[in-house]
Amino acid sequence: MSHPVVTALTGPGESDLVTALGATAEYAVARRCADLPDLLAAAAAGLGEVALVSPDLRALDRSALHELASHGVVVGGVTEPGDELGERRLRQLGLDVVVRTDITAPELEDLLDGLVRDGLVLAHGAHLTQDGPAADAQGEAPDVPDLPAPPEAPCRVIAVWGPAGAPGRSTVALNLAAELAVHGPTLLVDCDTYGSSVAQALGLLDEAPGMAAACRAADQGTLDLMALARLAPEVTPDLRVLTGIPRADRWTELRAASVAHVVEVARQLGAYVVVDCGFCVEDDEELSYDTLAPRRNAATLVALESADDLLVVGSGDPIGLQRLVRAVQDLASVPSPASPRVVVNKVRASAVGSRPERRIAEALGRFAGMEELSYLPWDQATLDGAMFAGKSLAEYAPASELRRAFVGLTEAYAAVEPRYRRRRRRR
């Protein structure tokens, strides 16, 4: 059975490659597209199973490749002989198959067979150009002295999420990252597309490039470890921060494929990655359009899907607890870690009565089956002082009860002995 191929190639070698495709037994050119919109339209119409693109195709980025993949089209790259920069750009965009325009028909057919069979997942170390090993996807970056050493253990990505109503997601994410930085290099990522606030909490510039610049670099295939380290400054020893978008209307800059690549590169930067997510996990934007459009909640959904651990934050008052129960139920339909850890924030007797922890545990256990809970006490004065100083609790109030609660929350991820133990009161 013949596999239809759509091409969007530039340069003088385009006709040579089309001739080689015509000489194969299993592949036939279904359409020769003039530009990227034409290629996307052909893929959406189901005209091809394989797409071949050039590195200088206008507007070609990681999001466009993600859209092609969403239509079930596998993508390969095509370069002119000797175009090493073009080949490097295609590989930086995530294309594992890159061929030259002067390739012979049998060789081209073999490579396309592997592309179709494995879906861009080829054997490690396979070299697809005719001149031997290809350049690494990240390029040959010069030595950067301020980069942390690669972690010995696999990096853990922890997503901090919670329902609407300001339960304290950013506060928990910031102070959790500050405590994890004691145990290893940590990166805090502000991925909230509705109201990012990590930059303000740490006294950083509101217009710093941060996550938006990282996603743009990921789109263009130029995001590597060195580039991410430049965009994520070190605010305290072993704690880097990738600030969020300064305005909520810039959410379109955080595309799904770009956010996924940023998280993937972030795994190489430290031992822990803490992602502050937005509250909304609805995936209904694509139902409102005839074509695939940017999704505002894609950044949160991708962060939850990429995380190794999930921390669900709720507020310790009647309304916050009701929202928490519904939020945990909503997670059943979202790709995320199977066993989220629930943290009840702003716990106080004035909101739920005496012995608030016991009352909250009974209510959540009865109505939602939640048994293992963590609690953070209400201490607004200390939080206000830390916000005014632009510091974490570990810097501003290291001996406070709230900070000790964060230390206890960190121990589940850092695997260390508890520093603080509560003394039991005798009657």
325 belongs to a structural domain: yes
Bridge partners of 159, per DSSP, are 275, 310
Question: Are 233 and 333 contained in the same domain?
Answer: yes
142 belongs to a structural domain: no
Question: Are 188 and 332 contained in the same domain?
Answer: yes
How many domains does the chain contain in total? 2
Question: Are 212 and 304 contained in the same domain?
Answer: yes
Per residue in 370-426, pLDDT tens? 988 999 999 999 999 999 999 999 999 999 999 999 999 998 898 654 444 444 443
What is the H or E stretch that residue 310 is in? Answer: strand 309-315
Strands (E), 33-89: 50-53, 74-79
247 belongs to a structural domain: yes
214 belongs to a structural domain: yes
Residue that finishes a domain, picked among 71, 96, 118: 118
134 belongs to a structural domain: no
CA distance 157 to 146: 22
pLDDT at 81 over 80: yes
pLDDT at 209: 79
Question: Are 82 and 11 contained in the same domain?
Answer: yes
266 belongs to a structural domain: yes
218 belongs to a structural domain: yes
Q: Which among 299, 344, 292, 337 is positioned nearest to 318, based on CA atoms? A: 344
Range of the structural domain that residue 186 is part of = 156-414
133 belongs to a structural domain: no
Check which CATH number belongs to the domain holding 293 and give it.
3.40.50.300
Q: Return the percent helix, strand and coil in the chain, to nearest 5.
A: 40, 15, 45
Please tell me the least confidently modeled range out of 52-61, 164-173, 207-216: 207-216
CA distance 322 to 337: 22
pLDDT at 292: 56
Average pLDDT over residues 13-41: 93
Q: Which two tokens stand for residue 124?
A: 């490690």
Its pTM stands at: 0.79
